[in-house]
A and B are shown apart, each in its own frame.
Chain A
Amino acid sequence: MNALLAFRSLFARQAKGLLIALLLSLVTLTAGVALLGTSGWFITATALTTAGLAFNLFVPSSLVRGFSFIRILARYGERLSGHDATLRLLTDIRGWLFKRLFPRLPLNDRSLRHGDLVSRLTADVDALDTAFLVAIGPIAAAAVIGIALTTILTWMLPAAALVYGVSFGMAVLLVPAGLVLASRRVGTDIVTRAAAARAAVLDGIEGHADLTLFGALGRTQTGFQSLAERLARARGRLATLAAFAAFGVQALAALALTGSLWLGLRAYANGQIDGPVLVGLLLAILGSFEASSVIVRSVAKLTTAMAAAERLNAIANAPISVADPINPVDLPARLPIAITDLNFAYDGGAPVLRKLNLAIAPGEHIAIIGESGIGKSSLLNLLLRLVEPQSGQITLGGVALSALAQADIHASMALLSQDSPLFNDTIRANLLIAQPAASDEALWDALDAAGIGEFVRALPRGLDTLVGESGRTVSAGQGRRLCLARVLLSRAPIVLLDEPTTGLDRPAELAFFDTMRSAAVGRTVILVTHAAFPQGTVDRVLSMRDGRLHAIDTPIALEN
């Protein structure tokens, strides 16, 4: 429940719409109860009357018609306004969640799988809509109706007021509360099992080729079968609890009705109540349980919503590993990079960098070589301040990274990482991420510089060609060059290239090194690679060993 409360400020933004829906649902229920009550009173009164045609027909009959129409209109308005407010709420939640998510990237939690994250941002957000629409609203409305009718009974049929009040209260408050308590765990199970099943599907598709090649499809199928069945079992358990709760509510309604009937008839026999009034009240009691019957089905969904809210909070409240300074320093115009005595290790891991030092002048092109996994990529992440060093300092333009706004740091550096993604969109849209206002001319320049302009020109739809998910319609090498073009398109004065030529053949690799010089003139370039590059590609070559950088005087040494 606390997890749901964390969303209250977002709920408050839609308070008006939700309140209107609540009021209209009250009107609907009241009109229904009044319609039955008035009708019961009316026919009993006419049956008992001796006035014949002199009986005042006008008031009751117009009341009956009036309540009918109020009920129809209020019901329509209630459902529409309630759903509109809820859907607006979901949009707010999605926007809010992404706003919280971005500063927390890259996520530290390795157990948070891609499929799980997708589940959280789609299904879990959707599950929250039930919180108001089908749970809180109906309970509130039913409680108001119950209190009102109990008050009327206290006044007109005091003997039945207690039986009715207690039964109705239990049906509306106690049974739902019991259901929530009993179904907490199964609600969590449903949400996590659905997420596990989704992740299994994603793993199956993205690893489809590997699973096929190793003949592992049968095992994958068995694994998915057990996940699907576990999900179905959890939902079945929730349905069992809900069925018991529904029976409980109906049983309480039965007690309230038969109890009031018995006590009411006694009061009638003793002359304490009018016949028509008694019948009217009995029918009103019958009608009031309409309010309670929907509650169980809604509350059954509430626990799922609570579990979903907890999972969303887990992302939204994950610790921010790298925080912006309160008063960031403006980014200087010239951006030399200086790294002093940098020590770094991943959480609990062996040290990656040990007292590393490096100074790069603006416009200088350097290459860092070394075995794979030695810490080259970590150094780039540290420069971007995606991770924090244990000790030591990095300055950009003479200002410590920790004193700069992260947005400024990111704007000053463009990264081509080893796993740079292409999005399921056009080539144009994929490039524009680096510079949304870029002209087509600039796009072609970047594509040419990355050595893929010719390929794109040959495509029937050119820049408007869809790349497909994970760049599936282009080869790995072409995808890599599109990512490179994106980096070159950005206006960042510092370019970080992490193994930029992976997936390129040797001539393309050489052509790339050749164009890099000219394409990045005036920009600082940090090239991380294990590929051999011709002499003169960069100004300086450094080798990373034992967590430190060592100058290599003659790049020719590489060629052995």
Chain B
Amino acid sequence: MSNSSARRAAPTPPPPVHSAKDTERENARTLSGLRRLGGPWLWLAMGAPLLGGILLVAQAWTLAAIVGEVIQQGADINALTPAIALVLILLLARAALAAIGDRAGTAASEAIKSSVRQMLFAQLLARSPRAARQPPSGAASSAIIDQVEALDGFFARYMPAMVQAGFLPLAFGAFILPLDWLAGLLFLVTAPLIPVFMALVGWGAQHASDRQARALSLLNGRFADRLRGLTTLKLFGQAEAEIAGIVAASDELRHRTLRVLRIAFLSSAVLEFFAALGVAGIALYVGLTFIDFLHLRSTPLTLELGLFLLLMAPEVYNPLRLLAAHYHDRAAAKAAIGEIETQLGHMPTDLVSLAPAAPSGNAGALGLTLSNFTLRTPDHARVILNNASLNIAAGDTVAIVGQSGIGKSSLLETIVRLRTHEGQIILGEQALADWPEADLRQGVAMLGQKPRIFAGSIADNIALACPDASAAEIRSAAERAQVTGFADSLPEGLDTVLGEGGLGLSGGQAQRIALARIFLRDPGMILLDEPTAHLDAALEQVVLDTLLAFARGRTLIIATHSLAVAARMGHAYRIAGESLLATPVRASSSRSVA
């Protein structure tokens, strides 16, 4: 577990800055690196169409032979019935191969997307929640859900199409060459030229794709952000303005998307052009040879061979057309990789396990010593504490006071290793950095200032602290945190389902539910950030009574504005002038300063 603590403490590596070309290549490499996650399905998806291509030649050959023999040589139809049956069988076999290939492509792409999502999510959670570069939640969820979805086409369709385009036209050309050198040559020369033209056209497509991916990400981020405060916007009469803003952002996305598509479609038009030219050229060549206008062959051309050439002409170009149709899947996937890495950092190659090892047992009350301790804001813009020191004995109760915004919350979060710092923190017997993750979480419990209420029942939310807790234990914790006071008047009591983010609760109620989580733990140190901020004076005292009783035999540190809270602690320290100063607390026994 010690490697995990090192990981948490390490600052998030910023994505490397490269030239556009480098990034482009880097994204393509990352993308092909993900192939291994697809497993054997990807091979099946790429192999099935190749086999189908071979069957296609046999099918065209048989079909041309049937028609040629009947029409040019007047063969008996009944004798050809087996050949017609063979055509049917070949057609059905090809249909089956195509279906198998498609299904395997989806299987590969789903396996890849599911793994990538899990790796990204794990990487995101493995970093410190207070890292300066943590992405906004809307953008991160859009990256993990929508941008990863944009990888789908690359693996399910583009890769099989690429293999077909690289192999089939050349194989068809090589097969036709000995039958008719001119047609064979035409196919062999034009087919490889097409990707060159496409690359020229697709060159600009990547840039446009990147900008489109960025616009999509911005739009989704905007939705996530604005949806949080729609009611506020409505009350300020901003509904119309917000609708106009959303329509404008959406229209901007349309413009960018069309810019991508115009180029993407141009590259497929180039292919259509060659494919049509191929069909028309073969038709004219065969026709002119039949009427003896052209004499390029040493042997006379049969209708059978002429038909075969005509049937094969569109098929030679078909794999390339397929590739062109899926060409922007590749551009979209590369752009998605770029966007994912912008939001979430480098694409991980392994799934980080976040499951903690079993904690090694209870350590009892924990003391805390800070020395040469310097703390900065995550962006390093401001120093919160400079070379400060602090000594808290095991079992003590301590208040941290100071103006709002001075850094009380940051200090508490540093003690639980959510933030980086300079200098030394000794927790209990050992340095904070040496604490195994599981032991630290078991030994220290903390209630933040804005605790998250998850969608689920009140009981579920309390049980976050201890998933194995019995209903009775949860009830007792709820009673101690004064949750039952309001929960019991609800029709379903503690089983009442809460909205995400505590929708339907007052601020004080949400805080008390989060507080109840603490009572389900058995920590050696308790850190509370403004636990009574939303409570009235009477309730504040009741909660403090329970807390102090619970804190017996443990160390309690509370960051607070409330003098009433500070007055009941053993010691108090004030953050002022980048230092921690001991401050008297028992002088005033009242909340009021009047």
Contact = CB atoms under 8 A, between A and B. Distances in A.
B510 to A, nearest CB: 9
A122 B140 contact: no
A475 to B, nearest CB: 4
Contacts of B233: 433
A515 interface: no
A88 interface: yes
Nearest to A473: B379
B457 to A, nearest CB: 12
Contacts of A203: 452, 454-455, 500
A114 interface: yes
A48 B140 contact: no
B536 A372 contact: yes
A110 B246 CA distance: 25
Given A39-B283, A261-B87, A110 B497 contact: yes
Interface string B246-275: 110011011001100110011011001100
Interface residues of B, number: 175
A473 B379 CA distance: 9
B581 interface: no
Max chain B Cβ within 10 angstroms of own Cβ: one of A122, A268, A350, A470: A122
Majority-rule SS of A interface residues:
helix
Nearest to B446: A213
B501 A205 contact: no
Contact of A469 (B91, B225, B530): B225
A168 B221 CA distance: 46
Interface stretch (B115-123, B192-200, B367-375, B426-434): B115-123
B452 A206 contact: yes
Contacts of A206: 137, 452, 501
Nearest to A376: B506
Given A232-B111, A433-B233, A282 B67 contact: yes
Interface in B133-156: 134-138, 140-142, 144-146, 149
A36 B279 contact: yes
Contact of A110 (B401, B504, B534): B504
Contact of B118 (A57, A90, A228, A410): A228
Contacts of A426: none
B2 to A, nearest CB: 16
Interface in B446-461: 446, 448-452, 454-455
B303 A95 contact: no
Contact of A505 (B144, B355, B561): B561
A508 interface: yes
Contact of B261 (A48, A80, A209, A419): A80
Contact of A421 (B81, B87, B229): B229
Contact of B223 (A121, A197, A434, A504): A121
Interface residues of A, number: 174
A115 B446 CA distance: 26
A417 B503 CA distance: 13
A51 B290 CA distance: 11
Interface string B61-77: 00100110011100001
Contact of A534 (B219, B291, B356, B594): B594
A64 B277 CA distance: 9
Nearest to B442: A215
A244 B102 CA distance: 10
B490 A349 contact: yes
Nearest to A94: B250
13 contacts: A39-B279, A48-B303, A68-B279, A79-B265, A199-B500, A243-B99, A257-B91, A261-B67, A279-B71, A407-B237, A419-B507, A420-B229, A468-B136
Given A48-B71, A80-B262, A83-B258, 12 more contacts: A46-B291, A52-B292, A53-B291, A110-B504, A203-B452, A250-B99, A279-B67, A372-B507, A423-B225, A476-B404, A502-B507, A505-B403
